Amino acid sequence: MPLESAQALGTTSGERRDTLTITDNRTGKTYEIPITDDSIRAIDLRQIKVNPDDFGLLSYDPAYLNTASCRSAITYIDGDRGILVHRGYSIEQLCEHSTYLEVAYLLIHGHLPTRTQLDQWVHEITYHTFVHENIKKFMEGFRYDAHPMGMLMASVAALSTFYPESKRIDDPWQNHISAVRLIAKMPTLAAFAYRHAVGLPYVYPNNDLSYPANFLSMMFKIGDAPYEPDPRLVRALDVLLILHADHEQNASTSAVRSVGSTHVDPFSAIAAGIGALYGPLHGGANEQVLQMLNRIGKVENIPAFLQGVKERRELLMGFGHRVYKNYDPRARIIRKYVDDVLAVTGMNPKLEIAVELERQALADEYFVSRKLFPNVDFYSGIIYEALKIPTDMMTVIFAIARTAGWIAQWLEMINDPEQKISRPRQIYTGPLNLTYVPLDQRG
């Protein structure tokens, strides 16, 4: 809506208008862009042109530092105040009162379940934990030292071939059963990947156990001896799953939304999310934190390590966040559970290094000025290690937990009338109008 001047908009009346008035100094034209939810629609910039046949203005935002890709009601984060809310409930309340499967229900259905709804949900997931026997043959094709995240990504993608009907994403029942299958089978696939790596026979799901206890059983049960994990450790794992369940438009969720926007089946979309989470800057950070603490080795080495970070020779893994510029509320909760877990399993020397590393970093201007605080990955690895979870399985557990969030976000995306296939534009910087040179004439 190009205007000759702002006066045409009744600015003399002084009423507040939720609009942005933009003057293009190349032409002197003024444009009125509506503001809703403290944002403007990037497509409204396209009307700003010099010549009528111009493409119009684009917004350029590498890594989407300041771009909202969707409207979502699932998770709210206030990065400056360190607040995390799922469907209106604070992460602190959910960790204190809820279970991972109940939080999964909340994320996907948008409300806390009634007792009947929860019982039905838990029953469905419990009775879908088995995977097709062919998956075992598929797993055996991996080398003994294959990273379990690579095995998980491949296995989840393979599941799409066992459930071809899941392509019918316009069918609410298909989407429901795909959600149940993904949440139910992720721990089984994860445990199978671990058992393959250590050369142990697979342990089938035990439907008498809770979701977290069943995962520990499939990971660690040996022979016919009953496997009865300490309930305090089971609760700590359940809380870790809650803490990792969803986190609005993080890199892996954005991958699931983007791949899902092509209307591929949800198994393939979630496999793309696993690939994104695998990266050391994202879900792979918890594995990197443990390796970092091992490298530091003892408290006396912390100052030299931090100097290396300040000289940009490495990153302080488990610190920093694109959104949180305050303490990640999840890290605060995990820190509390570390003491509970170590009271059962015994002290871990890495905790002493981690606590001192955090203290020194939070007292150092370099980190304070960059608003670098511990994130969800800084202490989680210490709990996983206390649970005897090997380092390369830690991101796998992150993937198990995030499956509920990925599904909730995928469902919200396919049901959002504003969404369509994800296809960003670009600013072309390459050459044009070159003439093809035959091979024998090239220098």
Binding span for ligand SDX by CB under 6 A among 17-25, 173-181, 259-267, 278-286:
278-286
CB atoms within 10 A of CB 4: 9
Residue 282 lies near ligand SDX (rule: CB under 6 A): yes
CB of 228 to ligand SDX, least distance (A): 31
Among 239, 241, 316, 338, binds ligand SDX (CB under 6 A): 316
Cβ neighbours of residue 214 closer than 8 Å, sequence gap 6 or more: 129, 187, 205, 206, 207
Residue nearest to ligand SDX (CB): 320
321 part of the active site? yes
Which one of residues 320, 383, 397, 404 is an interface residue with ligand SDX (CB under 6 A)? Answer: 320
Query: x-or-dash pattern for ligand SDX, window 171-200, by CB under 6 A?
Result: ------------------------------
Give the one residue of 372, 383, 386, 394 binding ligand SDX; rule: CB under 6 A.
Answer: 372
By CB under 6 A, tell whether 322 contacts ligand SDX. Answer: yes
Which range, of 7-15, 169-177, 298-306, 368-376, touches ligand SDX by CB under 6 A?
368-376
Q: Which is nearer to ligand SDX, 126 or 375 (CB)?
A: 375
Label residue 201 exposed, middle or buried (CB < 10 Å: 0-12, 13-18, 19+). Answer: exposed
Establish whether 147 is a catalytic residue: no
The reply to whether 332 sits near ligand SDX by the rule CB under 6 A is: no
Closest distance of CB 62 from ligand SDX, Å:
11
Contacting residue, 103, 317, 357, 389, with ligand SDX by CB under 6 A: 317
The residue within the footprint of ligand SDX, chosen from 221, 321, 335, 350 (CB under 6 A), is 321
Pairing outcome for strands 75-78 and 29-34: unpaired
Q: Which is nearer to ligand SDX, 35 or 281 (CB)?
A: 281
Write each residue from 234 to 253 as x if it is in contact with ligand SDX (CB under 6 A), else as -, in one continuous string. -------------x--x---
Sign of the dihedral through C-alpha 274, 276, 278, 281: negative
Which of these is catalytic: 24, 128, 282, 416?
A: 282
Say whether 128 is catalytic: no
Is 298 near ligand SDX (CB under 6 A)?
no
Binding-site size, ligand SDX (CB under 6 A): 20
* Binding test (CB under 6 A) with ligand SDX, winner from 267, 319, 373, 410: 319
Nearest one of 431, 424, 319, 432 to 69, comparing CA atoms: 424
Q: Which stretch binds ligand SDX (CB under 6 A): 43-51, 189-197, 319-327, 342-350?
A: 319-327
- Nearer of residues 124 and 364 to ligand SDX, judged by Cβ: 364
**Residues near ligand SDX (CB under 6 A):** 247, 250, 281-282, 285, 309, 315-323, 370, 372, 375-377
Residues catalogued as catalytic: 282, 321, 377
